[in-house]
Structure formats: C-alpha cells, structure tokens
Amino acid sequence: MDTKKRTTLLLILAIALFMLWDNWQVYRGGTSMIFQHEAKKTDSNAGLPEVPIETAVPAENETATPVAAAAETAKTVQEKQAELVTITTDVLKARVTSDGGVFQYLELLHYPDTVDPEKDMVLFDMAPPRVYLAQTGLTGGAYPNHATRFTIRPGKRSLAEGENELKLVMDAEQNGVRLTKTYTFKRGSYIVDIDQKVTNLGSEPIDASLYFQLLRDSSKPEGQSRFISTFTGPAVYTEEDKFQKLKFDDITETRGASHATDTDNGWIAMVQHYFVSAFIPGDQVKRENYTKKVGEDLYAIGTVVPLGMLAPKASASNDTRLYVGPQESVILEQTAPGLELVKDYGWLTIIAKPIFWLMTHIHKEVGNWGWTIILLTCLIKLIFLPLSAASYKSMARMKQFTPRIQQLRERYKDDKQRMNQELMALYKAEKINPLGGCLPVVVQIPVFISLYWVLLASVEIRNAPWLGWIQNLAAPDPYFILPVVMAGSMFLMQKMSPPPPDPLQAKLMMFLPIVFSITFFFFPSGLVLYWLVNNLLSIAQQYWINKRYGKAPTKKAA
C-alpha cells in the first residue's frame, strides 16, 4: 500500500502540474489541450454602420465595416503638410495629428522603457513596423473621420504650474456636417476626455454614428523574456459577458473574433504587459463593438455609438474617455468597472487578488517591495504553521522508523502482500502518515503560482529594487545568486527529510532541486526570494521538530 500511495501521489502531482501548464498556455493566448471553451458566437461585423477602410473619404452606400489601415492618411492628397501637436502634462506626452485628430504617439513620463531605462515608456507610436494608434470619427456617410484634415484651434500645449487641465480643440466640415473634437488632459491623470460635437449644417436630416478604435500590430512588447510570456491583444468588457481576451490569430479580413457586440456598458481595450489603452464610453449609451484585421499584421478593435437622426441645424454630443497608462490596480478600479481585470492573474485570481491586497498594505509600512515579499512569506508560513507542523512531525517520525521499514521491505521482498500488511500495521501502531510530508508542498502550489502571477502582472513591482544587486524584483536575478542559494536550501531540506523507501523515487527526489534551480534561473527574482525565504523558514522549523520528535524509537517500538 505504501508504494501504491506514493505512486498515486506522484500521479496526482503530475496531473496537477499538467493542468497548471495547460491553463498557463491558455493565459498566454494559446489553446487548451483539455477544455475547448465555447466563446459567445457572434459576428462582430454584422450590421455595423459604414466607416472608411481604404479611402480617406468614404463613398455613399459603402458596405465597409468600421476599420482603417495606418497608411490611410498617406493616400489622401493634401495641399499642405498636416500639423502635429505635442501635448505635455506632468505624467504623459502625446502627439496628435490634424489629419483626423489621431493619437500617433504617447509617452509615459514616470515609467522607464523596458529595453532602455534611460528612456520613457512609449505606447502609441507610428514608426513601422511598430504601429499603435487611437482613432475617432464619424461614420454613416461622407462625413469627417480619422483621415479628414481638421483645423486645430490655438491654445496652450503644456500644462503649466498651478494649472489642472488643458484642452486641444479641432474642427472639420464635410458634406454639410461639422465635427468638433475637444481633448481634455488633466494633471496627474492618464485619462483623456474626448468630447465630440456633431452639427448638421445641411437642410436634410442625417443618421450618423461616432466610432472609437484602437489600431495595433501583433508584435509583443520589446524586451520581454521568452520564458515569461504574457498576453498581448484586444480585450472587451461588458457587465453581461465580463472580461474577454481576444487573440490576434482569431481576427481575419472577413470576420472578427467572437466577443460581446451589442451593449450599453463596458469598454474596449488593447492590452500588453503592464500597460493598457481603453476607450470607455458612458454608461447606458448604446454601442456596437467590433474587431477587424485591416492590413498586413494590423488589427483594430473599436466601438460604434449611434447618434440617431439629427435634424437640420441640430447638434449632438458624446463624451468618451480614453485611458492610456499603467495597469495599476487602484487607478484601474477608479477609472471604470471591470478595467482592473486587464491586470490578469489567470485562473487563480481568487487567491492572487488577496495576496496583492495584503502586499500593498505591507508595502505602505515598509516602503520596499523586497522586504514586503519577505514579510509576506513569513505571514503565509505562520498561517500554514499548524499544517506544516503536523506534516513535519509525520516526516520526523517517518525518519525514525526508516531502518525498521527497510528491514520489513527486505524481509518480505518476495511477498508484496505480506510486506504491505506489515508496513500498514507499523504505520498504524506508530501513527505515521507516509504521505504527510508532501502536504505542505501541495498546499503551497496554488499560493506559489498566484504569487508568480502577482509579481508578473503588477506594474507596481516593475523596476522595484530590493537591495544590492537586485534592482528589479520583476526580472530574473542578473547574477543568479538567489537561484543558487535557493538550490542549496533545497538540497539541505532534502537531507533533513527521510528518503523514500523506493530507490527509484529516491533518485528522482535527488534530481528535484536541480530541476527547480534551472527553472528558477528564469523566474522573477521576487519569486525566487519568496521561495528562498520559505525554504529557510522550513529548514528552521524542521530542525526544531526533528530535535524534539526525532529521538530514537523505544525498544517496544523497535
């Protein structure tokens, strides 16, 4: 029975690790090998109003869907060069072109670049092959859109000391319709308020809609490790369908990905590691979400907001917010319902969110994320202390009777049934649980994986130093010191534990620290720090238990 139990446990652990790996592949945007999740089957292009695709000014009765390629403006012959306005606040720098009022560049002033820390992080950009833009305009006819030349009104371009906001205003008229865009930038905010006013200057009513779309290539952010892959792509959120991540590969020229379309709430976004951009229309405003491949490695996600019939000389306005910034939990929660879900902890969110909440409160007291991780480890160890103590006692008792177990195995090696009976009788008489030592490891696996996603997804820990050579807890140890020390702690723990009676299992256990060490070389140093501190606490706890319960067995027991 002893061998069967150990084999069963190894099988369970193997299945658990396979399921964790499978879910990790799904999180990265891959396909599950176990479950085929049925997405909501909707045609994301069906019934949407007309919007330009390849022409700068859409023709009447055009049947195109709301998408646009990045090179549209180049196709429109203009008499003079477009104006490029640079807006600077205390947290961002944006460049907006007079051709459509498109956000062609946006730089986050408080977040260093992943590849070159001397530079600021850039999200929106138009430097091929990198394309990432935010576009807005009118659809439903030959009306002003994101390829139309606008006239930009004079005004301040930098947020001065003592000022809390500045505005960028531009106008365009086409076929008797005027579109006025007002972008409002605020101090300390990554939100741009976009007010669009539509005026019907003609003598006939019009039926027009506003569209908001994010255009991006499918490349991963630069500087991302091959061993630490995170999701990059479009996302949709509605109260009915909740958070939906969409893979670029599911978006083609003829159809978009399956996702929520008709709604009156939520937002659409482009997600990448640590950062996100999202258009957030007002609540209770009818809209239609869409996705579309618009060119070679160019993909769009957007939403269309109908304005309804607009009588002659009448006007209609719409206020929509554009968030472009970090995935900081507090900021996302305050910006829009469900926006914090872009900071995706995978399927262990129920554990990861409380862990991060606890970490933020510890960090407020100590002011250093490295010491926060150490204190968090001690606290988790304290919570699991009763369980660990019981398991270590079982391991210590198991170590006492290892010679006796080996004798029984040798004596009855030709009679497996008798050997198992004698072993079970010994375990029962001495109150030994041969599987008890594995319980702390099994319990810690979900906590460990949750902390992994917390460290991987939290921009708050990005570039956070601990001490000495550890200057970024979200990146691997540059000198591999922590993984090597952690490997040593694992060997020491193994020496303190009773060896498995099965020689094959004993050999496998000998290689376990080596396998773990190689894996941890590529993990964030904050995660290695957690596991190292956990090992050191386990060693101290096991030493104390071995000293207290590890006395030689009595003659009666022998």
Domain boundary among 286, 318, 342: 342
- Same-domain check for residues 320 and 359: no
Q: Residue 435: which pLDDT band, with cuts at 50, 70 and 90?
A: low
pLDDT at 95: 98
Instruction: Answer yes or no: do 87 and 19 share one domain.
Output: no
Residue 503 covered by a domain = yes
pLDDT of 353-397, one tens digit each? 999 999 999 999 999 999 999 999 999 888 887 776 666 666 666
**Domain identity same for 332 and 360:** no
The pLDDT assigned to 334 comes to 96
CA distance 470 to 94: 33
Three-class SS state of 558? coil
What pLDDT sits at residue 62? Answer: 37
Instruction: Give the domain range for residue 377.
Output: 2-27+352-549
120 and 19 fall within a common domain: no
Question: For 345-355, what is the mean pLDDT?
Answer: 87
44 assigned to some structural domain: no
Q: What is the mean pLDDT of residues 494-518?
A: 68
Domain total in the chain: 2
**Which tops the pLDDT comparison, 506 or 128?**
128
Domain limit, last residue, from 309, 342, 375: 342
**Can you give the pLDDT at residue 348?**
84
How far, CA to CA in Å, does 103 sit from each of 72, 83, 87, 231? 14, 12, 11, 23
Angstrom distance (rounded) from CA 197 to CA 211: 13
Please state the rounded mean pLDDT for residues 510-529. Answer: 81
Domain end among 313, 342, 371? 342
- Note the pLDDT of residue 27: 45
- Whether residue 394 is found in the same domain as residue 303: no
Mean pLDDT value across residues 506-514: 69
- DSSP secondary-structure letter at 546? H
Q: Contact at 8 Å (CB) between 236 and 244?
A: yes
In degrees, to the nearest 5, what angle opens at C-alpha 84 toward C-alphas 78 and 85?
145
Any bridge partners for residue 292, and if so which?
300
- The DSSP result for 130-177, as a single string, is EEEEEEEEEESSS---TTSBPEEPP---B--TT--EEEEEEEEEETTE
